[in-house]
Structures are given as C-alpha cells and as structure tokens.
C-alpha cells in the first residue's frame, strides 16, 4: 500500500504537471498557427512558438545574440517565433530583406511592438503612414540638409573636444559607453532640439537618467501596472516630455527668428502649424523624443564601437591619421581649425572605418513590420497579420559579398563596385521609404568624432575585446573601460 501511495504521489506531483505543461505548449503551438492561410500552397516557415502567452520573448531579452544565432543555425534565414505578444517571422539575407523593405504599403507596414508604440507614441515618424509619414519626413529632412549639417559642425567639434579634453585629464580609466551616451545626448539636445548649453547643464543628469530608464523598458511586455517595465518607461517618458514642452513654449514665443538654420524641433512646430489639423503639442513631443532617441542612442553605440575596434587595430588609427595629414600637407586643412563638409567628404578611408564598424556592429539590430496580406517569401507563406522582423545584424553576418566577415578590414569598402553589390547586404540604416532620416547627420558626427579622437589621443582598452549585448542598441557589457593619453604627432 505504501508503494502504491508513493507511485500515485509521484504521478500527481511530477508526471501529471509535466504532461499538462507539454500539452499546454502543444496547444499553444496549434493555436498560434491559426493564421495559416489554406489558400496559399506554401507552408509556414520552420521554428517554434515558445511558451504560452509569453512565447520566446524572455529568451530573446535575456540571451539576445546567442538566442538569435542558435535560431539561425537551426532554422535558416526565415523562421517563425512568438515575440512581444505576437506571432512573428524573422527574416535575414539580402534577397529576403529586399522584398520586405521594398514591400512597404504593398506587402507590409511598419509596426513596432506595443510597448514601443505606447512609450514613443503613435504620432512618431516610425509609426505614422502614408501622407502623414511623407510630410513629417520631408520636414525633418530639412534639418539634415547639407547646408544645415555645415552649420552643425562647430557645435559638434566643440562638444567632442570638450569631452576628449576631460578624458585626457583623468588618471583613472574612462568608461567609454556611458561617456559616449552623455556626449551624444548633449549634441542631439543642442542640434536636434535647440536646447541651449546652460539649459542642458541644468537638466542633463535628470534627463540622461530618464532616457536610460525609458530606453531600458522600450521592449517590455505590454502590461501597464505599477513597477512593470512599461510603467517605468512611461514615467520616464513623461519627464522627458515635460522638458521638451518647456522648449516648445520658448520656441513658439521667440519664433527662433535669429537662427539661420532651424533645428528639427522648430521645423516640426512650423510643419504642424502649416497642416490643416489643429496644433498638436503631444505629437510634437513624441516626435522630438523619437529624434532624441535616434539621434543619440545609435551614434553613442557606434562611437563606442569605433573606440573598441580602433583600440584593437592600431594600424587603422595610423591610417586615419595619415589621411588627415595628407590634407594638412596639401593645405586643405589646418589642425585646430573648424572642419568642413568638403573636407569630411574627402576623408574616404575614415568613412570606410565607420562603414566597417557599422557592418560588424550595426547599432540597431533590425526593424519591425506587419504583414498586410498573406504573401510568399522564398518558399514560405507569411500570414496576414503576423509581425515580420527584418534582421540587420544577421543579414550582414550572412552576406557573401564580405569575405573574412569576422575581421575588421575597412579597406574592403575602398573596392570599386562594392557599393552596388552590397545593396541589401549592407543595411545599417535600413532601406526603402523607411530608411533612417538622420543617416547623413550620423556620418558627419561620427567622422568629426573620429578626426578629433585620433588627432588628440592614444588609448588602450583595459579589458581587451568586450562582450557585446543588445538592449535595444549594441553596447559592451563592461562599458569599455579605456585609458586615454595625449597623442603628439611627429
């Protein structure tokens, strides 16, 4: 009788719950493929849907690159999963990504996870569609015109030189990633939103901390209850909005008439006034927050990667210095003088260093879309209503046009014809109608940073090559502790 009781207890406490759990997972898998379109002869992509309700979101958040690499190795370039509350197809490879990026409004439409839409807002450039997207994009692009970029250069140089001077004066190691976020944040606040230096100095610490909190919780479960990720993200977002609204009020009162070139926030205000719809302060705050996120978080990630890759490849630093020295000898540039767009465009190798950094460590790992109708992609059906994630990092990893992909080799971008063959194999700024509006601004900013850094500093990475994570942009887990020292040219 005792043995019988033991067996029954074992079955009830261990075996039965396990069987029920496995049955629940199987029912979840069956339930999740309800979007399968029987009129389409193609099967769903391979893959798994994970646990009931939460899918495979936790694995992605906790493991990131390890999880994605495992999925790619097991299922190939197209696979199904369940992320952020939705059945999802993840896509990589130039041909597959090309169909997604060029299928905007025909096959797919932009749709970020619910938590991103809630925190950033529904009126942001990344979330609006059609005419509204076209008009908003046109207004913002004026802030990134060639003439406007020329006007931004002195501000960027001033901020970069001030930061580099501070790093050189420190006896201890500098934690590069947090420093880059502060530097790029100050630049974005001044250039994109028109904040004055004194105003930034007053609010910088609180704003940076609020942005950290908001960004950390962008990709979270869409549950708005106290202490949840979404709740904390919204609280931080509201503080940022309050500071931006103060600046909007000042701009409306002053009309910013003395500025030759208007910042993006001013252009958004003017564009809102010209539209037939009522003036919407909330929409402008949301757009400004999105600009600030895109304008500093991604550049901070790439600038950190630049310090890392160049710290590991001193011969590349030397080539960057030699290229600028050639411009000095030819009389095109004098050390210490303000840079120009013309000179920056002539620094081809320096540009290739940035391109190679973006190839290996694209700051944004991918983009989100939703299928507008069931369509075929490389032998599989993508059901209507399912989310589609196109992967930037994986597409770079699998691109055959880049031999020896693991090596940091900027010279590869000097090759003639690579720009044509690498289209959709190289997409750090996305592609199609949703390509990043600030890509030229980012290129100018990063070139200035690289010029100033290499002309003033030598540096050594304290921990060697770091482990990189994504959340939501790429960053080193150890914050890249680095020792800077003065560089004296011969």
Which residue ranges make up the annotated binding site? 436
The candidate with the shortest Cα–Cα distance to 89, out of 359, 360, 375, is: 375
The candidate with the shortest Cα–Cα distance to 391, out of 121, 75, 136, is: 75
Burial 43-76, CB ≥16 within 10 A → b, else e: ebbebbbbbeeebbbebbbeebeebbeebbeebb
- Binding-site residue positions for heme: 436
Q: Bridge partners of 55?
A: 51
For residue 82, give the 3-state DSSP assignment.
strand
Q: How far apart are CA 21 and CA 16, in angstroms?
A: 8
Q: Bridge partners of 108?
A: 104, 371
The candidate with the shortest Cα–Cα distance to 153, out of 344, 325, 324, is: 344
Helix 176-191 × helix 146-169 angle, to 10°: 150
- Find out whether 113 and 368 touch, Cβ atoms under 8 Å: yes
One-character DSSP codes across 256-316: TTT-SS--HHHHHHHHHHHSSSPP-HHHHHHHHHHHHHHHHHHHHHHHHHHHHHHHH-HHH
How far from chain centre, in Å, is Cα 300?
Answer: 10
Residues in the chain: 490
Q: How far apart are CA 66 and CA 21, in angstroms?
A: 26
Strands 86-91, 387-391: pairing is parallel
């Amino acid at each position: 009788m005792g043995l019988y009781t033991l067996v029954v207890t074992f079955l009830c406490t261990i075996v039965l719950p396990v069987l029920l759990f496995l049955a629940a997972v199987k029912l979840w898998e069956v339930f999740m493929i309800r979007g399968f379109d029987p009129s389409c002869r193609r099967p769903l992509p391979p893959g798994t849907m994970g646990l009931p309700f939460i899918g495979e979101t936790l694995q992605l958040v906790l493991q990131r690159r390890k999880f994605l690499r495992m999925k790619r190795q097991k299922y190939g370039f197209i696979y199904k999963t369940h992320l952020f509350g939705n059945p999802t197809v993840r896509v990589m490879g130039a041909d597959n990504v090309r169909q997604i990026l060029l299928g905007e409004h025909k096959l797919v439409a932009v749709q970020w996870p619910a938590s991103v839409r809630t925190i950033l807002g529904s009126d942001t450039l990344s979330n609006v569609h059609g005419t509204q997207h076209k008009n908003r994009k046109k207004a913002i692009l004026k802030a990134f015109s060639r003439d406007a970029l020329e006007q931004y250069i002195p501000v960027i140089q001033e901020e970069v030189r001030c930061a580099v001077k501070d790093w050189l004066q420190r006896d201890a190691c500098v934690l590069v990633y947090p420093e880059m976020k502060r530097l790029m944040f100050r630049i974005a606040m001044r250039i994109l939103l028109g904040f004055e230096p004194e105003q930034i100095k007053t609010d910088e610490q609180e704003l940076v901390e609020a942005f950290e909190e908001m960004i950390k919780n962008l990709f979270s479960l869409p549950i708005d209850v106290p202490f949840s990720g979404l709740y904390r993200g919204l609280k931080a977002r509201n503080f940022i909005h309050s500071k931006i609204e103060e600046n909007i009020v000042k701009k409306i009162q002053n009309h910013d008439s003395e500025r030759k070139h208007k910042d993006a926030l001013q252009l958004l205000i003017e564009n809102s006034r010209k539209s037939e719809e009522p003036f919407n302060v909330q929409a402008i705050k949301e757009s400004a927050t999105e600009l600030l996120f895109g304008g500093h978080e991604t550049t901070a990630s790439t600038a950190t990667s630049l310090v890392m890759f160049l710290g590991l490849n001193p011969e590349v630093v030397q080539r960057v210095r030699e290229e600028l020295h050639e411009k000095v000898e030819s009389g095109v540039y004098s050390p210490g003088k303000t840079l120009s767009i013309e000179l920056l465009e002539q620094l081809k190798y320096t540009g290739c260093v940035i391109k190679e950094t973006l190839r290996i460590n694209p700051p944004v790992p991918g983009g989100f879309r939703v299928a507008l109708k069931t369509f075929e992609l490389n032998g599989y059906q993508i059901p209507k209503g399912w989310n589609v994630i196109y992967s930037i990092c994986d597409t770079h990893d699998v691109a055959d046009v880049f031999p020896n992909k693991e090596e940091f080799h900027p010279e590869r971008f000097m090759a003639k014809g690579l720009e044509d063959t690498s289209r959709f194999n190289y997409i750090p700024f996305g592609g199609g109608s949703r390509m990043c509006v600030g890509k030229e601004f980012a290129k100018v900013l990063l070139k200035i940073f690289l010029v100033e850094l290499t002309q003033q500093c030598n540096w050594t990475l304290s921990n060697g090559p770091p482990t990189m994570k994504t959340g939501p942009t790429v960053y080193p887990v150890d914050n890249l502790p680095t020792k800077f020292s003065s560089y004296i040219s011969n």
